[in-house]
Structure 1
Amino acid sequence: MIHLTNEQTRVPIPAAKVRRLATQILGKRHLSIAFVTNAAIRKINRRFLQHDFATDVISFPLDSDLVGELVISADYAVGEARSRRIPVEEELLRYVAHGILHLLGYDDHRPADKAKMWKRQERELAKVVRVARPPR
């Protein structure tokens, strides 16, 4: 089951596509996803990761029936989509895939690991939405 919470009003959330993307990556495992503002994700980032800035997605792995929880900034997606001239929906869905892959153990700190993660992320994303322009 994919549980969605929308705590922002700026961006319409493509709930069906979010669930489809999450399910195709996770199978029958459970996940919670919260869509929030930049202000909200900044507070979470500061509290749990000691980083005082907004970010795109934060992944929290859990040791229960839930694989984990994602917190995604819709505001951040708007800014990134605008700068890259792509649809906001595509950017939001990219954050969903990216966050889930972190929960599954993918890492993006080293170049080789990042390339592997981004390849899978973009492949999964392309199954759900037409990708306008892959990230740099």
Structure 2
Amino acid sequence: MPVEVANESEIAVDESAIAAVCTYVLGEMGVNPVAELAVLCVDPDYMSTLHERWMGEKGPTDVLAFPMDELDTGRPDEPDPGPALLGDVVLCPSVALRQARAAGHSMDDELLLLATHGVLHILGYDHMEPEEEKEMFGLQNKLLAGWRATPREPVTGAPVERGPAGR
């Protein structure tokens, strides 16, 4: 599942971990493995511009999701649909850093949470109504718990393959 992460912010981020958590979430949600996702990390000024333009709110926000209007997954009679661009998740590391400090955890943990949140928005989840919020945040917490419980390679963030028991 191709996930491209680009950091255009002034803050260093763990791009491989962001890509890995997005890949994990998409896999757990049953998204076609050839689907593509883009994640962009931006500075507060650019995020403010996006936030005002698309949400009508001033100032930077932590995450915005821009799902594609229509997914082209190929013709229905094709056994294997071609790649589809799911959309873009935009993160603002400086807002994530501020939120992480307030919550008492690392910026990396906050970015993983925000990336998960953004992917769920791309997949159609929302939290405007109380029931939607309960469903989305419950799913987000479950996915992050699963992500954290899976042993990972230290450099790539890829899941560690487990051999047969006792080996």
Q: TM-score if structure 1 supplies the norm length?
A: 0.87
Structure whose residues are more often helix by fraction: 1
- Structure-2 residue corresponding to 1:19: 19
Query: Which of the two has higher C-alpha Rg?
Result: 2
Q: What's the CA shift for 1:101?
A: 0.3
Q: What's the CA shift for 1:9?
A: 2.3
Q: What's the CA shift for 1:6?
A: 0.2
Q: What's the CA shift for 1:39?
A: 1.5
Contact persistence 2:51–2:57 (CA under 8 A): yes
In the TM superposition, what are the counterparts of 1:1-136 in structure 2 within 5 Å?
A: 1-10=2-11, 12-27=12-27, 28=33, 29-62=35-68, 63-64=70-71, 65-129=84-148
5+ residue gaps, structure 2: 28-32, 72-83, 150-167
Contact persistence 1:20–1:128 (CA under 8 A): no
Summarize the Cα distance change of 1:6–1:100 in structure 2 as closer, same or farther, 3 Å threshold: same
Q: What's the CA shift for 1:83?
A: 0.7
Runs (4+) of structure 1 exceeding 3 A deviation are none
Q: What's the CA shift for 1:125?
A: 1.5
3-state SS of 2:58 partner: coil
Which one-letter code corresponds to 2:57 in the other structure?
A: H
Which one-letter code corresponds to 2:10 in the other structure?
A: T
Q: What's the CA shift for 1:50?
A: 2.1
Q: Distance in 1 between matches of 2:129 and 2:136?
A: 10
Identity across the alignment (%)? 27
**RMSD across aligned C-alpha pairs, in angstroms?**
1.5
Q: Distance in 1 between matches of 2:113 and 2:132?
A: 17
Structure whose residues are more often strand by fraction: 1
Which one-letter code corresponds to 1:7 in the other structure?
A: E
The count of aligned residue pairs is 129
Which one-letter code corresponds to 1:4 in the other structure?
A: V
Q: What's the CA shift for 1:128?
A: 3.0
Q: Distance in 2 between matches of 1:84 and 1:77?
A: 10
Q: What's the CA shift for 1:105?
A: 1.0
3-state SS of 1:127 partner: helix
